[in-house]
Amino acid sequence: MVWERTTRRVLTLSDATAITIDDVAGLRSAGIDPSEVAAAFADVMLEQFFRFGYFHADPHPGNIFVAPVAGSRSGEAARPAWRFAFIRHGRAG
């Protein structure tokens, strides 16, 4: 974590080692179901806007990653074995 750039609402990491959201082969090789990721991504994007009132202004695959969580298994306690990593939320213009 980069503490000097982290706030109560923003978590800043120095490395987002993960799989791009559109790398289907990479997701599958990590044991992650791409259809599960797609459904969760839709939920997250809608929740950002309708529940919290903000949105990711540049949601292309180079800015959205799927990060496997070490020591977890999909379905375990209804939590996936991965997390989203969003980068570059800004918008120009």
Domain extent at residue 38: 3-86
Which of 22, 23, 33, 58 is flagged as catalytic? 58
Q: Which residue has the higher pLDDT, 75 or 17?
A: 17
Q: Structural domain tally of the chain? A: 1
pTM above 0.85, yes or no: no
Classify residue 27: in a domain, yes or no. yes
Q: Which residue has the higher pLDDT, 88 or 22?
A: 22
Classify residue 93: in a domain, yes or no. no
CA distance 29 to 33: 9
Q: With beta carbons less than 8 A apart as the criterion, state whether 89 and 48 touch.
A: no
Decide if 33 is catalytic: no
Classify residue 92: in a domain, yes or no. no
Which tens digits make up the pLDDT trace of 34-81?
999 999 999 999 998 899 888 788 888 888 999 988 765 555 555 678
Contacts of 74 (CB under 8 A, 6+ apart): 31, 32, 33, 36, 80, 81, 82
